[in-house]
Chains A and B, each alone.
Chain A
Amino acid sequence: MLPGCKIPHSPPAASTQGSKLYHVACAACHQPDGKGLEGIAPPLADSAWVDAPDEILIRIVLHGVRGPLDAKGQAYNLEMPAMGFFTDEEVAAVLNYIRERWSVSPKAIQAEKVRHIRTKKRADSWTLEELGWRP
C-alpha cells in the first residue's frame, strides 16, 4: 500500500450483522428509516432513547417492554416483544447498529454486558416504571 493511502472503510462486523438483524426483526415496526409507525412503535431516529444507558436498552431487547409511552407527541401503548432468542453478540450488534445510525454520539455496547444482564433471569416484559429511566 502506498504511503498516505487509507484502507477503504468497511463497517465493523457488528454494524453489518446489526443492520441485517435490524431489518429482519425491528424495521417492520420501527421502520427502516427509524421513524416508527403511528400508534404501533415509537421512532428511534432523533430519539433520546437510543442514548439510554446500555443496561436499559439491553433489557428492552432481551425481555421486551410494555405500557404507555409518549414520543414526539404521540402516545404508544403496545408491547414490544422480547428478543431473548438473539445471542449476546446479536443483541449487541443490533443495538450498536441502532446507535450508529441514530445516536448523536454512539457508544458501543459489548456482548459481555449483554451476557451479564441475561443471567438476571426475567420472565416478563419491562414497564417504564421498572426500567426507571426516561429521556
Chain B
Amino acid sequence: MTDDNPPEGFIRIDFDRGRPDPTFNTHIGPLYAKRGEKGTRDEFVMGVRVRPYMCNPAGGMHGGMMMSVADLVGTMGAGTLAGLRKFLPTVSMTFDFVAPAKIGDWVEGRAEIVRQTRSLLFSTIYLTVGEEKILRASSIAKIPSGDGPAFGKARLAREEAGATAQPSR
C-alpha cells in the first residue's frame, strides 16, 4: 500500500467498511482522494497509481480502469461537489481516450459540474497525469429522491494516513 506513494494530501478511500468481501472499487484499487478548499479545482480529486493489474497487454492503463475511475469521479466526486451525500447511479457516460497512461504514473481525476437539476447531475470529468489530459468524460448521474439507496460506507482512511482526527465533512 505504501509503495503507491501518493502525493501530499491524498488519503486511501475505504470503500468496504464492515463488508465481508472487497467490492469492485477496492478490487481494482487502491484508490485515493484529496479534499481541497471549496470552490477550487482541487475541492475533490481522486488519485490512483497505475499498477500492472490495471493495465492492458500493451502495458498502458486499461481503458476499463480509466472508465471505472471516471465513473466514480462522476458520481462520488461530482456528488461531493454538489453537496450530495447519497449514492448516485450513473445514467449515461461518454469517454474520449485522448492519451495513454503507463505503469507507475499517478493519475488524478476531477469533476466539474455542468448543471444540477432536481433529479440529474451533469458533469465533465478529466483524468490527468501531471498536466496532460488522458481521458475526457461526460457524465449524467441520477439524483435519487429522498435518501436514495442505502449508502455511506465509503470514507477516507484517515487514521491509516496518520492524519489527526477531523470532521469528515
- Whether chain B is bound by chain A comes out as no
Interface residues of B (CB under 8 A from A): none
